[in-house]
Amino acid sequence: GAGVSQSPSNKVTEKGKDVELRCDPISGHTALYWYRQSLGQGLEFLIYFQGNSAPDKSGLPSDRFSAERTGGSVSTLTIQRTQQEDSAVYLCASSFSSHSEEQYFGPGTRLTVT
Amino acid sequence: AQTVTQSQPEMSVQEAETVTLSCTYDTSENNYYLFWYKQPPSRQMILVIRQEAYKQQNATENRFSVNFQKAAKSFSLKISDSQLGDTAMYFCAFMKHNTNDMRFGAGTRLTVKP
């Protein structure tokens, strides 16, 4: 594809349910990032994948959050037992390599936990 | 730790006029990169301009230019001949050389008025 795509665009879920958010990076990009953007806030780093290396999970806010990247391409961010404070826009970005490269962002998934 | 500060939560400018958005950062590093990203209502983050810290010359992209003051740790964005399509959130970001760690400011909401 021409850019980073994310699905769904919007997700409304009930408190306590699990959700999965998907990211398709730009073909050929080896690095993939997940960020969280709460209302009116900047971007909070969550997790980073680089090729087949172990991901950098240092930004995940709790053990309810996890992410996978299959085959070095598509990534899924999973939030278990969602809480209202998880409501935010979740942005995915990819870059050609990991270091000092411009990140290309997807349109994000707006998650609302009711 | 690196921090990025955008002291102007909101700004407005008349169409065709010039506006400057402020950004300061705190780091002990000598090699790093600075970015300005634009996020319109569509949520799609778009890179506006990038500056390498080792370059003394200020980066310029058409109507967008920066004033990079390394000693003062300042990285302001100037938008000339503002257009209605420039209305967006603008995020300043810092990335240490040879890392994947990009830190974002809280953003400045810019409104261009007709």
Domains held by chain B: number? 1
B33: nearest CA partner in chain A? A100
Q: How many CB pairs under 8 A join A and B?
A: 51
**Can you tell me the mean pLDDT for B24-50?**
92
Q: What is the pLDDT of residues A95-106, one digit of tens each?
A: 887 566 788 999
User: Nearest by CB to A107, which of B43, B100, B101?
Assistant: B43
Q: Residue B100's domain is classified under what CATH number?
A: 2.60.40.10
B43 touches chain A (CB under 8 A): yes
Separation of first and last alpha carbons in chain A: 33
* Beta carbons of A100 and B95 less than 8 Å apart: yes
Give the closest-approach CA distance of A67 to chain B in angstroms. 17
Pairing of strands B88-96, B24-26: unpaired
Q: What is the pLDDT of residues B48-106, one digit of tens each?
A: 999 999 988 999 999 999 999 999 999 999 999 999 999 999 999 998 887 777 889 99
Give the residue numbers spanning the domain of B108: 3-113
A39: nearest CA partner in chain B? B106
Q: How many CB atoms lie within 10 A of CB A47?
A: 21
* Beta carbons of B100 and A99 less than 8 Å apart: yes
Q: Which domains does chain A have, with CATH numbers?
A: 1-6+23-97 (2.60.40.10)
Q: What is the pLDDT of residue A51?
A: 82
- Cα–Cα distance measured from residue A50 to residue A97, given in angstroms and rounded to the nearest whole number: 8
Is residue A3 a contact partner of residue A103, using CB atoms and an 8 Å limit?
A: no
